[in-house]
Amino acid sequence: MSDAQDEPLRQRSLRTLAWIGDAEFEREVRLRLARRGDYPTDKLDKLRAGIVNAVAQAELLAGLLAAEVLDEREQAVVRRGRNTAVRAAGTRSGSVREYRAATALEALIAWWILGGERERFEALVIPEIEARIEAAIAGLRKRR
């Protein structure tokens, strides 16, 4: 739940929102991976990296947009996030377009959390995180 002091943070720049949303997204992935078992940290890092990257986050956002589950305010945050300038040299995975989409998703996550709408994050993003974790762990088991 959001504190009243977090509401003004919702009005910060999209880059700041994306920075916060990135941390929250990664935190959730790490917690959920750790709950699945006691894997070596190098394996946990590989699993995390497969989920917490621009390409995967852009795909997740594309799914939300295709499902038409975002309201007008949320879509406005996404549009603003997509228009945020990114440095091409700063992208580690994916294209500039994917990086901008990932930035938009991260900003939306922070917007929800800081605005006291964590339930939207839990309803729309957490099931996708869980599905990706399940697929990653299944792939890990097959390689054994």
Provide the phi-psi class of 86: left if phi over 0, else alpha when psi is between -120 and 50, else beta.
beta
User: How far is 40 from 55, CA to CA, in rounded Å?
Assistant: 25
Query: Is 22 a catalytic site residue?
Result: yes
User: How far is 101 from 53, CA to CA, in rounded Å?
Assistant: 11
Residue in 139, 99, 138, 121 with CA at minimum distance from that of residue 27 = 121
3-state secondary structure of 52: coil
Select which of 22, 42, 45, 71 is catalytic.
22
Residues with catalytic annotation?
A: 22
